[in-house]
């Protein structure tokens, strides 16, 4: 005699949790805070030039999201993203 699958495995109610929000800062904004000279457009061109590393890898995305602990290197300088640099994403 076979059991009904539904009897062996009652329907589970899915658990919904709030979306995970991680504090971030965009790369271009971080560079401005770190003192990279120039206008916003010049900072974007600098990022696209491929002359900086994020966590040891060349990254050319202007709006790349950085989190606490990420390491940004350029012109022989190394900056670590701190809690004071980041902010929580806006909620709708």
Residue 65 domain flag: yes
User: Is residue 64 over pLDDT 70?
Assistant: yes
Residue 11 lies in a domain: no
Provide the domain count of the chain: 1
Tell me, yes or no, whether 67 lies in a domain.
yes
Nearest to 84 by CA among 71, 72, 73, 68: 68
Which pLDDT score is estimated for 56? Answer: 96
Separation between Cα atoms, residue 70 and residue 27, nearest integer Å: 10
What are the residues whose beta carbons fall under 8 Å from the beta carbon of 39, sequence distance 6 or more?
none
DSSP 36-54: --S-HHHHHHHHHTT-EEE
Asked if the structure places residue 47 within a domain, the reply is yes
What's the CATH code of the domain at 25? Answer: 3.10.290.10
pTM of the complete model beyond 0.85: no
Residue 77 has pLDDT above 80, yes or no: yes
Domain hosting residue 54, numbered range: 19-85
């Amino acid at each position: 005699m076979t059991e009904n699958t539904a009897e062996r495995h009652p329907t589970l109610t899915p658990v919904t949790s709030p979306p995970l929000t991680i504090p971030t800062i965009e790369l271009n904004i971080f560079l401005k805070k770190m003192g990279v000279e120039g206008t916003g457009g010049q900072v974007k061109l600098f990022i696209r030039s491929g002359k900086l590393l994020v966590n040891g890898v060349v990254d050319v995305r202007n709006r790349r999201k950085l989190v606490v602990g990420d390491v940004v290197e350029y012109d022989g300088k190394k900056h670590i993203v701190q809690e004071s640099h980041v902010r929580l994403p806006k909620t709708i």
